[in-house]
Structure 1
Amino acid sequence: MKWYSGGSERSEQAIITIKALLTDLQDASKGPALQTVLTTYQTELESKKASVPLILSRLNLAIANALQEDGLTLSAAQSEQVKALTALSNIRYGY
């Protein structure tokens, strides 16, 4: 994703990544707090009631808290998906 991509593109990519991550977590049947967080933020991104950068920023914090709460160790593929989600909130402003 380009650094100058708009909110709708970031939202679409985040929803795709969240769905893939939820599928992986359901197969493993672990990480209930993380699954709840991802489901909540997927709904929030789909409803578009707040700005996408704000939602993604809050999502990053919620993911970190859920991982600590669950004591979950992610697989390499799941870690890459979480990394991709957090990268979506990297927006460069200015020149």
Structure 2
Amino acid sequence: MGAECENVKPDASSPDDKASQVRRMFDRIAPSYDFMNRAMTLGIDRLWRRKAVGLLARHGGTRILDVATGTGDLALQMARRIDGTEITGVDLSEGMIG
């Protein structure tokens, strides 16, 4: 099933591959992403992020990789709350981390 999903394009009329289409979509919505996320989740995004950081802080670690970091909300919160940990965030969309 996984390989079949990779062939699905969000916009079938576009000649670009799925990754390029997804990257462009997130680049476009990046400026309002945090606001939209907060509104659509009714603020629950803040709760799960706080809980995740609390769990990570208890277990420690010297390095954390935040894949699909988006605007970096989680990575930034980890950096503020978990001392002595190197946090790296990466994302497909340059607009999200820019």
Name the TM tier (shorter chain): under 0.3
Query: Going by fraction, where is helix more abundant, 1 or 2?
Result: 1
Calculate the TM-score normalised by the size of structure 1. Answer: 0.27
> TM-score, normalized by length of structure 2?
0.27
Task: Please identify the structure whose Cα radius of gyration is greater.
Answer: 2
Structure with the bigger RCO (C-alpha within 8 Å, sep 6+) is 1
